[in-house]
Amino acid sequence: MKLSGRLAAAASLIPNHKVIADIGTDHGYIPVYMCQEGRCPKAIAADIVPGPLQAAVTHVRQSGLADRIDCRLGNGLTCIQPGEADGAVICGMGGPLIISILQASPVVWQEMEFLVLQPQSDSGAVRQYLYEAGWHIEAEEMLVEDGRLYEMMRAVPGREAMPAPWLCDIGPVNWQRKHPLLVRKIESLIGKKEHIRAGWTKSRSDMSAQIQALDEEIRHWRKIIWQLQSER
């Protein structure tokens, strides 16, 4: 089967020959793909919503993989036992939800070898949480699909120094690689900051200090864009 661009990018970050738990599996696309390609011996496909999970069950059966992919109804990692999977894949959710899933089941994922995450928002907060938990970002990818920018990351155990806040926002590996989509990522961050600033300027409260700090942050991001463009 062929995956969408964002799911293919996430799958590319999954180490080969590892048992995976795909959380929020929807139709079970990633587990089926990984098993069909011979990259995954077994998988768990989990979803909290019965409808998507049933779609995954059907897809798994039609693919002849019912003996290798276990479909489970459950909330996040709560339906996974410690040691059952080598790593977890969590795609297509907002950053706060991904963090809450990890916070709910530390005993499960802290025993894993890797996490492949694709936060739809607040990716900086996800990175910061991983570093605070004693993990670090080993690999990252970004792509644009249907006009939207997607970010993927692979985290592994091992405590490393917390990156600066701005590096958490754009990804330390993305920065190290000087990813071609970094400028677009930073421009989206600036757009969000400017939207916040516009709201603050209309506030009846005195927001001058906050606006000044935000303006400094926007200037910082523009300097980084200039640096990236000058290096090309």
Inter-residue contact 50 to 145 (CB < 8 Å): no
Residue appearing with tokens 């400028």: 183
Inter-residue contact 162 to 126 (CB < 8 Å): no
Inter-residue contact 154 to 116 (CB < 8 Å): yes
Inter-residue contact 107 to 79 (CB < 8 Å): no
Q: Determine the average pLDDT of the residues in 35-60.
A: 96
**Other CB atoms closer than 10 Å to residue 27's CB: what's the count?**
18
Inter-residue contact 169 to 192 (CB < 8 Å): no
> pLDDT of 197-222, one tens digit each?
999 988 888 888 999 999 999 999 99
Inter-residue contact 122 to 94 (CB < 8 Å): yes
The torsion angles phi and psi of 75, rounded to 5 degrees, stand at: -90, 110
Structure tokens at 41: 């011996």
Spatial separation of the C-alpha atoms in residues 138 and 174, rounded to whole Å? 10
- pLDDT over 80 (residue 232): no
Percentage of the chain beyond pLDDT 70 is: 100
CA dihedral 35, 140, 131, 118 (to 10 degrees): -60
pTM surpassing 0.85? yes
Lowest mean per-residue pLDDT among 1-5, 19-23, 66-70, 83-87: 1-5
Spatial separation of the C-alpha atoms in residues 150 and 171, rounded to whole Å? 12
Compute the mean pLDDT over every residue in the chain, rounded to the nearest whole number: 95
Q: Determine the average pLDDT of the residues in 149-161.
A: 97
- pLDDT over 90 (residue 140): yes
pLDDT at 185: 97
Given pLDDT bands bounded at 50, 70 and 90, which one contains residue 89?
very high
Inter-residue contact 103 to 77 (CB < 8 Å): no
Closest CA to 128 of 167, 102, 93: 167
> pLDDT of 92-126, one tens digit each?
999 999 999 999 999 999 999 999 999 999 999 99
Percentage of the chain beyond pLDDT 90 is: 93
